[in-house]
Structure 1
Amino acid sequence: MHRDPSAERFFRFQSAPCLEVDFDGAIGAANPAFCQVAGRSEDELQAAGLVALFAPDARAEVSAALARGAAREVVTFDLPLVRPEGELRWLEWRGVTFPEHRVFRIVAHDVTALWRAEAEARERERFLGTLLGNLPGMAYRCRNDSHWSMEFVSAGCEAVCGYGVDEMLENAKVSWGDLIHPEDRGGVWRDVQAAIDARAPYHLKYRIRTKSGEARWVEEQGRGVFDTSGVFLALEGFITDVTVRMLAKQELEAKLRVIAEQKEQIQHLSLPIIEVWDGVITLPVVGKLDDQRAERIMQGLLDTVVRTQSQHVIIDLTAVEEVDGAVAEHIVRILRAVQLLGAEGALSGMQPKVAQALVSLSADLGGARTWPDLRAALRASMRVPARAVGAKR
């Protein structure tokens, strides 16, 4: 095809890649810009032809585009050519037809950088979609309104609350605010607003009602998003179902309460303070006597002496096989405290080892009487005439 000199110069020095191709795909001319993009000289391009520049699976589409262009006087397609080293260069091919010469004049716009950026963006989106879809919970972006209107929510929302993405986006069928238990809504709102004001992350645990009506516990972590000028944009975070964990915690707490109650009952049973007669109470000591237990014994005895106005307190040591200095001190303190309330303290059932230990420790029993067994102590106490209430107070 004949071109005037000025058109030839324009073709050659055009910054965009340009081609002249006949209806059969033979390349008649290629400017330097196209040669650079294709990685071939003009002679090599003319020898190869246009269709051969593409991957085998794309060549039929190129031939079809040329055929359409011949009929419509415009040729257009978007396909990557393959450079000799195998690199793909994505081009937008746009040309006009000159039927009288049976040629196309084509300008190829190199959009490789844009295509790569879009491919990377698609790959990131795919990766994030896969990642979020496999997380045990739902990622979200929502507005800071009373409905917590969702602008984005991951597919995990269905596992958390039973509603799908399409049902939750922009409150299409339900809002997250509607799902929060009425008793927890106020606390969630206050905690999130405080975190936004402080520009700090928030960490919440609260109850929701699922699509099926089931009550669940969820844990939410998130924070406010601000632009570079400090303007608040949205809330972003992650919500996961922690119902199993919370129920296990509640069950554990209930068991611990039962254990504590049982322990208290056992401790109470381990101090069997018995009012055996008017004005006479006994305390059989069983097991090890440590600081904590001695304190409970003293408190229990003193409270019972005051409440019953007893005049005789018998501490039975039949089940105590041996004592050390600390235990001896506890016994002495208990007897002295009883005496300060006006009652007479006595010890019964003292084993030989216990007696030897008290003697070797020079324990001062404060004049408290001792009896070989509880029966003798009771018999002696009940023979003593009862005094008027408060006579020694």
Structure 2
Amino acid sequence: MSSDAFDHNMDAGDYEDEARIYESIANRMNGFLYRCRNDKNFTMCNIAGAVKKVTGYSQKDLLNNQRISYMALIHQDDSSRVNTAIEQAVKSETNWNIDYRIKRADGSTQWVNEHGGAVRDAAGQVTHLEGIIADINDRKSQEVTRRKKMEDVGGTSNQIISQTQKILQVLKTLKMLSLNASIEAARAGEAGRGFAVVADQVKELADETGKSAQSITQLMGELEAKLSEASE
């Protein structure tokens, strides 16, 4: 056997080993790798990984649209958003990264994340799309739970603000009564001096309590804004 033939066989073996390594890695993923044609059906040419686990369909079902096209799996409410993300990424020569829903073989809904990019020929024309599609159901479930908790906290903070506003209204009324009492005490002269002192103290208490209530309202507003930002 010539050295050239030996080198050629070694190269082929290396490529086979590399392919097996990639296939092994893909099979450990909670998702799958793909390469598809740049057509309206996203016709799958190559696909490896947990295809059955994520979609409910086998690799053979999706390859060359033998049973169903991948585009047909994308939830109808998300398909236009997926197309737009891919079109914009292709146009700007960047990758796309998008969350969307697919319809599994059993009819259930599955959240996935797709991170991919365009494959171009020597002339710069897009021939294929490739990337990774991963199961993110758990992440989406956690996001929904977290959002619900944020909404509950936000609802509680709104109730606190509402009650604080009521306190402020009561304090305004109390200050008016204190002012009226001071006027009446002044009219009563010496006999009303003690009552005037009480009225002044009530006014001071109302002022301080009002400042605290306004501070609570401001802080709750800031808390709600931070919670809303954290939930995004």
**Structure 2: which 5+ residue stretches go unaligned?**
180-195, 204-232
Determine the structure 2 residue equivalent to 1:178: 72
Q: 1:114 to 1:261 in 2, by over 3 A?
A: same
Determine the structure 2 residue equivalent to 1:213: 107
Matched, 1:133 2:27: yes
Q: CA deviation at 1:233?
A: 1.5
Determine the structure 1 residue equivalent to 2:183: none
Q: Distance in 2 between matches of 1:372 and 1:123?
A: 88
1:95-244 matched pairs, under 5 angstroms: 111-244=5-138
Report if aligned partners of 1:143, 1:151 keep a CA contact under 8 Å in 2: yes
Matched, 1:269 2:101: no
1:50-61 matched pairs, under 5 angstroms: none
SS at match of 2:35: strand
Larger radius of gyration: 1
Please state which structure has a larger fraction of its residues in helix: 2
Q: Distance in 2 between matches of 1:144 and 1:110?
A: 38
Kindly provide the amino acid, as one letter, of the partner of residue 27 in structure 2. Answer: G
Deviating 4+ runs (over 6 angstroms): 371-374
Q: CA deviation at 1:346?
A: 2.4
RMSD: 2.7
Q: CA deviation at 1:155?
A: 2.9
Q: 1:247 to 1:110 in 2, by over 3 A?
A: closer
SS at match of 1:236: strand
Q: Distance in 2 between matches of 1:255 and 1:127?
A: 43
TM-score (norm 2): 0.73
Q: Distance in 1 between matches of 2:98 and 2:202?
A: 64
SS at match of 1:146: coil
Kindly provide the amino acid, as one letter, of the partner of residue 178 in structure 2. Answer: A
1:59-110 Cα shifts (integer Å, max 9, x gaps) = xxxxxxxxxxxxxxxxxxxxxxxxxxxxxxxx4xxxxxxxxxxxxxxxx897
- Out of 175, 178, 182, the residue aligned to residue 346 of structure 1 is 178
Identity of aligned residues (%): 24
Q: Distance in 2 between matches of 1:109 and 1:235?
A: 38
Determine the structure 1 residue equivalent to 2:190: none
Kindly provide the amino acid, as one letter, of the partner of residue 240 in structure 1. Answer: A
Q: 1:263 to 1:116 in 2, by over 3 A?
A: same
Kindly provide the amino acid, as one letter, of the partner of residue 93 in structure 2. Answer: R
Q: Distance in 2 between matches of 1:220 and 1:209?
A: 15
Q: 1:346 to 1:153 in 2, by over 3 A?
A: same
Determine the structure 1 residue equivalent to 2:170: 282
- Out of 185, 199, 217, the residue aligned to residue 370 of structure 1 is 199
1:211-238 Cα shifts (integer Å, max 9, x gaps) = 1111111111000011232121100100
Determine the structure 2 residue equivalent to 1:389: none
Q: Distance in 2 between matches of 1:204 and 1:110?
A: 47
Report if aligned partners of 1:219, 1:240 keep a CA contact under 8 Å in 2: yes
SS at match of 1:154: strand
Please state which structure has a larger fraction of its residues in strand: 1
Q: Distance in 2 between matches of 1:231 and 1:125?
A: 26
Determine the structure 1 residue equivalent to 2:140: 246
Q: CA deviation at 1:373?
A: 6.8
> Which of structures 1 and 2 has the larger relative contact order (alpha carbons within 8 angstroms, sep 6+)?
2
Count how many residue pairs are aligned between Structure 1 and Structure 2.
187
Report if aligned partners of 1:206, 1:219 keep a CA contact under 8 Å in 2: yes
**Structure 1: which 5+ residue stretches go unaligned?**
1-90, 92-107, 275-280, 284-300, 302-312, 316-343, 348-366, 375-393
Q: CA deviation at 1:345?
A: 5.5
Q: Distance in 1 between matches of 2:202 and 2:123?
A: 88
TM-score (norm 1): 0.44
Kindly provide the amino acid, as one letter, of the partner of residue 267 in structure 1. Answer: I
Matched, 1:314 2:174: yes
Q: Distance in 1 between matches of 2:69 and 2:177?
A: 73
